[in-house]
Amino acid sequence: MKIAVCAKQIPDPAISVTYTDGKIVRPDEQVLDDTDRYGIEVALQLKEKYDAEVTVISMGKLGTQKGIQQALQMGADKALVIEDPALENSNSLMTSNILSGMAKLAQADVVIFGTESSDGYSGVVPQQVSRYLGLPCISYVKGIDISEETELTRQTIAGSEKVIMPNKCVISVTASGVEPRYPNFKDIMAAKSKEVEIVELSSLEFTAEQNQEFVEIKSISSNKSGEKHIDEGDSFNLIIERLKEIKAI
């Protein structure tokens, strides 16, 4: 079995995102999106079960490749990456078009994602990739059981449901259910010698187009000048008073 797992490098989420001309400013050093760790964890569990090969696929500004290294350190075998000016500020369809091509290059049977990136969070790329590749889509997976046949538990609005993982499919994994592993020292050292192959845009079939034209960003600072009280043991009274005033009780 061959597995492709998508990993996105994003600006450090602890620092707030900045924009120029409507585009997210991306520093040279970006980190692995936390959301992707869940997908990588599922990929690694499948690797252990099926002796599969796991290829990280990633699109976007490469920079120092810190995030790619973080994905390899968790235990993926190699990486396919792409950066091209034509892909800057890609919409979800452009992204999924490219990632589908990379999954094909990796000859992936199973393609795994987090549910949504932390910086773009459109939440449709896994579904789009499944459609491009003509594979079943098992979205919002929140649990995996590999003890016998591989069972995937999906999150649904009403609760959850289980399916047997098809031999070929696209999976998106939510941020719960699996516990992403921390790399140990050996894994960190081993990652340095793993192959990172840079893919040229010309080697992929690319038909998706940009369909969003940036207009403007408006600040709507919603800071309220609400009242603030230091508790001196009786603020419960104030809360009750206000709840009564607004007729909540």
Partner 1 sequence: MKSLIIGEVSNGTLSSGTLEIITKAQENNLDFKLVVIGTENNPKIGSDTFEVIYVHLSPDELSLSSAADTLVDAIKTDSIELVLASSTYVGRDISGFLSVDLNSSPVANVINFEINGSTLTTTNSIDGGESEYFTNVTSDVKILIIRPKSFEASDVTLSENYTTSSVEKNDLTVNVFDVFIEEKTGPQLEDSKIVISAGRGMVDVGNLKYIEELAGKLNAAIGGTRAIVDAGWMPYSQQVGQTGKTVKPDVYIACGISGATQHQVGMKDSKYIIAINKDEEAPIFQIADLGIVGDTLNIIPKLIENL
Ligand X SMILES: Cc1cc2nc3c(=O)[nH]c(=O)nc-3n(C[C@H](O)[C@H](O)[C@H](O)COP(=O)(O)OP(=O)(O)OC[C@H]3O[C@@H](n4cnc5c(N)ncnc54)[C@H](O)[C@@H]3O)c2cc1C
Question: Which of the choices partner 1, ligand X, none does residue 226 contact, using the CB cut-off of 5 to 8 A by kind?
Answer: partner 1
What is the closest distance, in whole angstroms, from the C-beta atom of residue 213 to ligand X in the complex?
26
Q: Is 33 exposed, middle or buried (0-12, 13-18, 19+ CB in 10 A)?
A: buried
Q: Which pair of structure tokens corresponds to residue 178?
A: 């699996």
Strand order, beta sheet including 110-114: 151-155, 137-145, 169-173, 110-114, 2-6, 53-59, 78-82, 196-198
- Residues 53, 58, 59, CA angle at the centre, nearest 5°? 155
Q: Nearest CA to 10 among 86, 117, 93? A: 117
Q: What is the DSSP letter of 201?
A: G
What is the closest distance, in whole angstroms, from the C-beta atom of residue 181 to partner 1 in the complex?
16
Nearer to partner 1, 76 or 132 (CB): 132
Nearer to partner 1, 23 or 195 (CB): 23
Residue 158 contacts partner 1 per CB under 8 A: yes
Report 185-224 residues binding partner 1 (CB under 8 A).
207-224
Contact between residue 173 and residue 42 where contact means Cβ atoms under 8 Å apart: yes
What is the closest distance, in whole angstroms, from the C-beta atom of residue 64 to partner 1 in the complex?
25
- Taking residues 31 to 70 in sequence order and writing x for each that binds partner 1 by CB under 8 A, - otherwise, the string is ----------------------------------------
Q: How many residues bind partner 1 (CB under 8 A)?
A: 81
What is the closest distance, in whole angstroms, from the C-beta atom of residue 231 to ligand X in the complex?
9
- Taking residues 120 to 149 in sequence order and writing x for each that binds partner 1 by CB under 8 A, - otherwise, the string is -xxxxxxxx-xxx-xxxxxxx-x-------
